[in-house]
């Protein structure tokens, strides 16, 4: 009996810690095992990155008649980067990308969470609705782009529907109005990507231990209190993952949008990806494109590191 | 403080009847164990008391107040789950404070109550520990404290020791019993482990297949099982039951066990009761009550297996319908293949009606 009590108190007092020497051994082996993959990454990521850095310091273009390795002769004293700082079209594209993200990701998250909460319980026809709900995600983005392109035509089904409801002819030129066009591309993005958010959050939601929810209920928590104090904290990690995936993906928003508006009217829906695409395929100034892409990569990397540090700190505080 | 009355309680899940007409009165402050094998309806009964499930028919009364339609958060019931259901993303303090906080108690009062309950359960040094890295006996105390802080009239415990290894169980049984003495609440304890029920409960309700078999103190259900199920279920090993016909002899009423021979004469009181029955009976006695006797004074049986478990030795005798187990001290000299003559102590013999399975009782 005394032996048992002794183990209990040791158990209580001791937090599990791996021995440092052991951890070092493991790290060495781990490094060796991942070496082939690391070499591969070197060629896939590091080499193009260095190439990009090199080109971004020159005026090189595929039309300049030089191999890219000879781009040094077109060295331009960091002109690409100084141009970038004053490129109004670049900054407004960046701002637009941010606006789309700030609107789309939270809307997708809230809709996804609401749907996940709904689907966590049983209701008649759940399987059918579930399949229908996942369909947008399976549509090829280019096809979704054409769908919404036609939906938002001034003679299209959406205006027909609005006419039928309001009883007077509605002829809104959705994709020709700067503000409405931006809204339209956001609607398309939300339509297509809410299902992914829903799917990830549903997986997190069904993983919340049911007896803890029951325990909370027995202790007098109402549904809202249960959601805030038990369900959300338990879903914390999966929420962060879902948001991270969507923020990264949304920043690169391109295909659906490009087919719907081509970045227009004018530059009203021109996001970073669309701007870079146009510079690459129409203006063919690849040195400048390389500079933009690199600048964005650096800014995003810094943001990602900052976000991850904050996440780690938040986890320590709650741990 | 509150008594619990279950009146004609029935629970059906579709076509399956989980609980058939249960009547049970649990006194104020009593420790009642619901004991039975898995699927016997004990957890269903408890979930209905807690309000997690609605009865199909029948009533649940807390101190004469009908609980029908009262949601589980308002029944004043403390519930300790099988795995404790501790909120692992919170500290011990946050777990304990959860109930009062959800009810909107002022912060000063919450602090006072958490402090008091932590002191009582010796959790004070652990209050700011995260709850996901605690040992199982601490988790148990947190689970109890989290419910106890609400000062529930009734405490329900759902197999709280089933995830614990055997060595811990002994420690925690003692701890639980002491906690019950401290809190003096009505406790309902669901278990499939008769040792837990025997050691902790004031009374035991034995259940099987959704039917309440017997309610009584631990010694009552052990000594005087109401039917064959209870006789076999309680005790380790369970009661020996041998089928036979009552027969008169010059020494008094005996049971003719067929190929096993004839039992020693029954005590007068039981004999009188057995004379009033018809058909076959089951002759029952506890393995612990069997003794080795001279040839001709008991049942002669071959030894088929000898189980030595330290302090005691369980000897398996005979085979099939006529199998008997007997428990002796560890110095018993029997070996496989030998023949043993055993007879139960006269006063320990119990007789059951073979057709109904019910005990044939004197008086």
Residue-wise pLDDT tens digits, A239-288: 888 888 888 888 888 988 999 888 878 888 889 899 999 988 888 888 88
Neighbour count for residue A276 (Cβ, 10 Å): 19
Nearest to A215 among B74, B85, B167 (CB): B85
In chain B, the residue whose alpha carbon lies closest to the alpha carbon of A220 is B73
Contact B81 A11 (CB under 8 A): no
Q: Any idea which of A43-47, A155-159, B160-164 has the lowest mean pLDDT? A: B160-164
Contact A220 B102 (CB under 8 A): yes
- Residue A106: band (very low, low, confident or very high) from pLDDT cuts 50, 70, 90: very high
Output the average pLDDT for chain A.
Answer: 84
Contact A211 B135 (CB under 8 A): no
Residue A233 with chain B: CB contacts under 8 Å: 89-90
- Residue A224: band (very low, low, confident or very high) from pLDDT cuts 50, 70, 90: very high
**pLDDT tens-digit readout, B105-121:** 899 999 999 998 888 88
Q: Which whole number is the average pLDDT over A115-137?
A: 89
pLDDT score recorded for residue A315: 63
Q: Which whole number is the average pLDDT over B220-240?
A: 91
Q: What is the pTM of this model?
A: 0.73
- Residue B286: band (very low, low, confident or very high) from pLDDT cuts 50, 70, 90: very high
pLDDT score recorded for residue A1: 38
Residue B201 phi, psi dihedral angles, 5° rounding: -80, 150
> What SS3 state is found at A73?
helix
Contact B231, B351 (CB under 8 A): no
pLDDT score recorded for residue B1: 55
Contact A318 B79 (CB under 8 A): no
pLDDT score recorded for residue B167: 78
- Residue A16: band (very low, low, confident or very high) from pLDDT cuts 50, 70, 90: very low
The CA distance from A157 to A165, in Å, is: 12
Quick check: A317 contacting B, CB < 8 Å? no
Residues contacting B263, CB < 8 A, separation 6+: B244, B254, B255, B257, B283, B299, B343, B349
The answer, yes or no, to whether residue A19 has pLDDT greater than 70, is no
pLDDT score recorded for residue A317: 53
Q: Mean pLDDT highest for which of A105-109, B35-39, B86-90?
A: A105-109
pLDDT score recorded for residue A298: 87
Which class for A155: exposed (0-12), middle (13-18), buried (19 or more C-beta within 10 A)?
Answer: exposed
Task: Identify the CA nearest to A213 among candidates B106, B40, B85, B54.
Answer: B85
Residue in A6, A15, A17, A219 to test binding to B, most B beta-carbons within 10 Å: A219
The CA distance from A118 to A191, in Å, is: 18
In this predicted model, which residue has the larger pLDDT, B323 or A7? B323
The answer, yes or no, to whether residue B263 has pLDDT greater than 90, is no
Task: Identify the CA nearest to B82 among candidates B142, B164, B153.
Answer: B164
Residue A222 with chain B: CB contacts under 8 Å: 73, 102
Q: Any idea which of A98-107, B68-77, B176-185 has the lowest mean pLDDT? A: B176-185
Contact B102 A221 (CB under 8 A): yes
Residue A8 with chain B: CB contacts under 8 Å: 135, 137, 168, 171
Quick check: B79 contacting A, CB < 8 Å? yes
Give this complex's ipTM. Answer: 0.76
- Residue B285: band (very low, low, confident or very high) from pLDDT cuts 50, 70, 90: very high
Residue in A9, A218, A239 to test binding to B, most B beta-carbons within 10 Å: A218
**pLDDT tens-digit readout, B32-57:** 999 999 888 888 999 999 988 889 99
> What SS3 state is found at A224?
helix
Q: How far is B99 from chain A (nearest CA, A)?
A: 5
pLDDT score recorded for residue A265: 87
Buried b (16+ CB within 10 A) or exposed e, B217-239: ebeebbeebbbbbbbebbbebbb
What does the angle CA B292 – CA B297 – CA B299 come to, to the nearest 5 degrees?
70
Q: Which whole number is the average pLDDT over B195-216?
A: 92
In chain A, the residue whose alpha carbon lies closest to the alpha carbon of B50 is A218
CA distances from A35 to A22, A24, A29, A32, A39 (A): 20, 17, 10, 5, 6
pLDDT score recorded for residue A197: 93
* Phi-psi category of residue A82: left, alpha or beta, with phi > 0 → left and psi -120 to 50 → alpha: alpha
What does the angle CA A77 – CA A78 – CA A84 come to, to the nearest 5 degrees?
145
pLDDT score recorded for residue A23: 65
């Amino acid at each position: 009996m005394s032996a048992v009590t002794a183990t209990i108190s040791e158990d209580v007092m001791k937090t599990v810690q791996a021995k440092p020497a052991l951890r070092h051994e493991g790290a060495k082996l781990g490094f060796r095992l991942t070496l082939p993959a690391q070499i591969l990454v070197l060629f896939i990521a590091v080499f193009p990155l260095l190439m990009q850095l090199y080109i971004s310091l020159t005026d090189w273009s595929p039309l300049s008649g030089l191999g890219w390795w000879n781009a040094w002769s077109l060295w331009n004293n960091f002109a690409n980067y100084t141009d970038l700082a004053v490129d109004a079209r670049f900054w407004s594209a960046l701002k637009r990308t941010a606006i789309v993200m700030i609107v789309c990701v939270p809307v997708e998250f809230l809709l996804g969470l609401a749907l996940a909460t709904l689907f966590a319980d049983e209701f008649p026809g759940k399987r059918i609705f579930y399949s229908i709900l996942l369909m947008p995600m399976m549509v090829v983005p280019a096809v979704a782009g054409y769908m919404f392109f036609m939906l938002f035509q001034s003679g299209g089904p959406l205006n027909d529907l609005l006419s039928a409801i309001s009883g007077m002819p509605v002829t809104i030129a959705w994709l020709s109005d700067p503000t409405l066009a931006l809204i339209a591309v956001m609607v398309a993005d939300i339509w297509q990507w809410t299902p992914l958010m829903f799917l990830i959050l549903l997986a997190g939601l069904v993983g919340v231990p049911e007896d803890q929810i029951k325990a909370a209920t027995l202790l007098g928590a109402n549904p809202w209190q249960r959601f805030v104090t038990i369900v959300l904290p338990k879903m914390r990690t999966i929420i962060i993952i879902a948001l991270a995936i969507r923020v990264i993906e949304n920043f690169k928003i391109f295909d659906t949008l490009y087919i719907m508006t081509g970045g227009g009217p004018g530059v009203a829906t021109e996001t970073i990806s669309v701007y870079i695409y146009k510079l690459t395929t129409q203006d063919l100034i690849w040195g400048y494109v390389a500079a933009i892409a690199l600048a964005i990569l650096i800014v995003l990397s810094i943001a990602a590191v900052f976000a991850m540090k904050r996440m780690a700190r938040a986890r320590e505080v709650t741990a | 403080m509150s008594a619990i009355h279950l009146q004609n309680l029935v629970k059906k899940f579709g076509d399956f009847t989980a609980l058939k007409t249960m009547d049970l009165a649990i006194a104020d402050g009593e420790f009642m164990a619901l004991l039975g094998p898995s699927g016997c309806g004990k957890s269903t009964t408890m979930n209905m008391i807690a309000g997690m499930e609605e009865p199909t028919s029948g009533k649940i009364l807390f101190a004469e107040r009908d609980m029908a339609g009262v949601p589980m958060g308002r029944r004043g019931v403390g519930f300790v789950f099988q795995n404790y259901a501790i909120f692992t993303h919170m500290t011990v303090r946050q777990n304990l404070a959860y109930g009062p906080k959800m009810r909107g108690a002022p912060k000063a009062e919450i602090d006072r109550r958490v402090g008091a309950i932590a002191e009582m359960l010796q959790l004070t040094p652990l209050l700011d520990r995260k709850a996901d890295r605690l040992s199982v006996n601490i988790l148990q105390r947190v689970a109890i404290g989290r419910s106890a802080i609400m000062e529930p009239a009734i405490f329900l415990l759902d197999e709280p020791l089933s995830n614990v290894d055997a060595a811990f169980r002994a420690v925690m049984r003692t701890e639980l019993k002491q906690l019950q003495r401290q809190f003096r609440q009505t406790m309902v304890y669901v278990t499939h482990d008769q040792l837990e029920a025997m050691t902790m409960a004031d009374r035991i309700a034995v259940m099987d297949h959704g039917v309440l078999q017997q309610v009584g103190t631990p010694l009552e259900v052990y000594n005087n099982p109401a039917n064959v199920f209870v006789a076999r279920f309680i005790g380790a090993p369970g009661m020996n039951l041998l089928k036979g016909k009552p027969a008169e002899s010059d020494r008094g009423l005996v049971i003719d066990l067929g190929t096993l021979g004839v039992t020693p004469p029954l005590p007068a009181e039981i004999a009188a009761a057995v004379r009033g029955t018809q058909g076959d009976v089951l002759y029952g006695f506890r393995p612990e009550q069997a003794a080795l006797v001279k040839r001709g004074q008991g049942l002669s049986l071959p030894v088929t297996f000898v189980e030595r478990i330290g302090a005691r030795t369980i000897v398996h005798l005979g085979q099939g319908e006529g199998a008997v187990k007997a428990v002796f001290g560890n110095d018993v000299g029997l070996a496989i293949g030998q023949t043993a003559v055993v007879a139960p102590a006269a006063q320990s013999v119990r007789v059951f009606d073979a057709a109904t399975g019910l005990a044939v009782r004197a008086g």
